[in-house]
Amino acid sequence: FVFLHGYDAEEDLVESLANKSTNERIKAIQKLPETMRKKRAIRDKVLREITEKSRHRGAQPSCCTQCLQGAAVSFRRFGNTLSEYFHLLRIWHKTLKIIGAEFGTSVLSYFVFLKWLLNFNLFSFLINFGFITIPQLLAAEPNNLSFTGLELITGAGYFQQTVLYYGFYTNATISKIENGPSYNMQLAYIFTVGIYFVICFLILLFSMAKSFYRNFINPQSFSGNASKLLCTWDFNITSEKAVKLKQKNLGTQIKEDLTEVNKEVLNYSAMERLLRLAVHLLAWVASLGTAAAACTGVYFLSINNLELFMKGHGNDLESQAATLVLPVIASLLNALIPFFFSWLGHLERFQTPGQHIYVTITRIIILKMSIVGILCYYWLNIAATSESQCWETLVGQDIYRLVLVDFILCLLGSFFGEFLRRIIGTTVFVSLGLPEFDIGRNVLDLIYAQTLTWIGILFSPLLPGIQMIAFLIVFFVKKVSLMRNCQPPRKVWRTAQMMTSFIFLLFCPSFLGVLSVIAVAVWRLKPSEGCGPFRGLSSMYAAVSEWIQILESYTASKWVAWIYRNLITSELFFFVLSTIVLIVTYLYWQIIQGRKTMTKRLHEQLIN
Please list, in sequence order, all residues whose beta carbon lies within 8 angstroms of the beta carbon of residue 557, skipping any fewer than 6 positions away: 551
Q: Kind and range of the H or E element at 183?
A: strand 183-184
Is residue 465 very low, low, confident or very high in pLDDT (cuts 50, 70, 90)?
very high
pLDDT score at 4: 41
DSSP 3-state assignment of 59?
coil
238 alpha carbon, distance to own chain's centre = 34
Mean pLDDT of the chain: 80
> b or e along 143-171 (b: 16 or more beta carbons within 10 Å of the residue's beta carbon)?
eeeeeeeebebbbbbbbbbbbbbbbbbbb
Q: Residue 271 CA to chain centroid, in angstroms? A: 45
User: So what's the pLDDT on residue 216?
Assistant: 60
Neighbour-count burial for 277-292, b at 16+ CB within 10 Å, e otherwise: eeeeeebbeebeebbe
Instruction: Give the three-class secondary structure for 236.
Output: coil
Residue 405 has pLDDT above 90, yes or no: yes
Q: Is the dihedral of CA 328, 329, 332, 334 positive or negative?
A: negative
DSSP annotation of 174: E
- Does position 526 have pLDDT exceeding 70, yes or no? yes
If DSSP states are collapsed to H, E and C, what string results for 77-89? HHHHHHHHHHHHC
Residue 1: pLDDT above 50? no
Q: What pLDDT was estimated at residue 236?
A: 64
Which of the pair, 42 or 432, is modelled with greater confidence? 42
Residues 437, 489: Cα–Cα separation, whole Å: 8
What is the 8-class DSSP label of residue 553? T
CA–CA distances in Å: residue 401 to residues 398, 447, 467: 5, 17, 12
Is the per-residue pLDDT at 219 higher than 50? no
Per-residue model confidence as pLDDT tens digits over 26-85: 878 887 877 777 888 888 888 887 877 766 655 555 566 666 666 666 666 666 665 555
Query: Residue 563: pLDDT above 50?
Result: yes
Collapsing DSSP states into helix, strand and coil, what is residue 75? Answer: helix
Count other Cβ atoms within 10 Å, centred on residue 502: 25
Residue 128: CB partners within 8 Å, gap ≥ 6?
192, 196, 457, 461, 462, 464
Whether the pLDDT of residue 278 is over 80: the answer is: yes
Give percent of the chain with pLDDT exceeding 70: 80
Please give the residue that has the higher pLDDT: either 494 or 337. 337
Q: What is the pLDDT of residue 400?
A: 94
Predicted local confidence at residue 3, as pLDDT: 41
- Give mean pLDDT, residues 519-523: 92
Choice between 490 and 447, residue whose per-residue pLDDT is larger: 447
Q: Which of 122, 123, 95 is nearest to 110 (CA)?
A: 95
Is residue 402 pLDDT above 90, yes or no? Answer: yes
Residue-level pLDDT at 66: 65
The pLDDT value given to residue 98: 83
- 128: helix, coil or strand? helix
How confident is the model over 135-189, as pLDDT tens digits?
888 887 787 778 887 888 888 878 888 899 998 998 888 876 776 678 888 899 9
Q: Is the pLDDT of residue 406 over 60?
A: yes
d(CA 525, CA 21): 66
Q: Which tops the pLDDT comparison, 328 or 257?
A: 328
Whole-number Å distance between alpha carbons of 121 and 303: 31
358, pLDDT greater than 70: yes
Question: In this predicted structure, what is the pLDDT of residue 5?
Answer: 46
| Closest C-alpha to 371, from 323, 332, 339 | 332
Residue 528: partners with Cβ closer than 8 Å, 6 or more residues away: 167, 388, 389, 390, 391, 392, 535
- How many other CB atoms are found less than 10 A from the CB of residue 307? 10
Alpha-carbon distances, residue 306 vs 296, 333, 373, 483 (angstroms): 16, 20, 17, 43
Q: Which 3 state secondary structure label does DSSP give 524? A: coil
- Cβ atoms of 456 and 399 within 8 Å: the answer is yes
**Is the confidence at residue 410, as pLDDT, over 60?**
yes
Look at residue 184 and give its three-state secondary structure.
strand
Rounded to whole angstroms, how far apart are CA atoms 531 and 459?
12
- Write down the domain spans for the chain: 1-53, 90-175+182-525
Confidence at 217, pLDDT banded by 50, 70, 90: low
Choice among 215-229, 383-397, 486-500 with the minimum mean pLDDT: 215-229
Yes or no: say if 157 and 514 are a contact pair by the CB < 8 Å rule.
no
pLDDT the model gives residue 452:
94
- For residues 73 and 79, give the distance between their C-alpha atoms in angstroms, rounded to a whole number: 10
Contact 458, 518 (CB under 8 A): yes
Q: Give the pLDDT of residue 82.
A: 58
Per-residue pLDDT at 571 exceeds 50: yes
Count CA within 13 A, CB hemisphere, residue 56. 6
Q: Is the pLDDT of residue 561 over 90?
A: no
Helix axes 498-505, 439-456, angle to 10 degrees: 30
Condensed to tens digits (0 to 9), the pLDDT of residues 333-351 reads 988 898 888 888 888 877 7
User: Could you give the CA distance from residue 248 to residue 355 in angstroms, rounded to a whole number?
Assistant: 26
What radius of gyration, in Å, describes the C-alpha atoms of the chain? 30
pLDDT of 488 above 90: no
The one-letter amino acid code at 367 reads L
Q: Which residue has the higher pLDDT, 46 or 262?
A: 46
State mean pLDDT over 498-516. Answer: 86
DSSP SS3 for 173:
strand
Q: Identify which has the larger pLDDT, 175 or 365.
A: 365
Which residues lie below 8 Å from residue 560, measured CB to CB, with a gap of 6+?
548, 551
141 contact partners, CB below 8 Å, separation of at least 6: none
User: Which range (201-205, 240-244, 423-427, 483-487) has the least confidence?
Assistant: 240-244
CA dihedral 404, 405, 407, 412 (to 10 degrees): 150
Best CA proximity match to 144, nearest among 160, 128, 165, 163: 160
Please tell me which residue, 87 or 18, carries the higher pLDDT value: 18
pLDDT number for residue 272: 76
Q: Which residue would you say has higher pLDDT here, 89 or 474? A: 474
- Residue 173 forms beta bridges with which residues? 184
pLDDT at 565 over 60: yes
Specify the pLDDT at position 53.
72
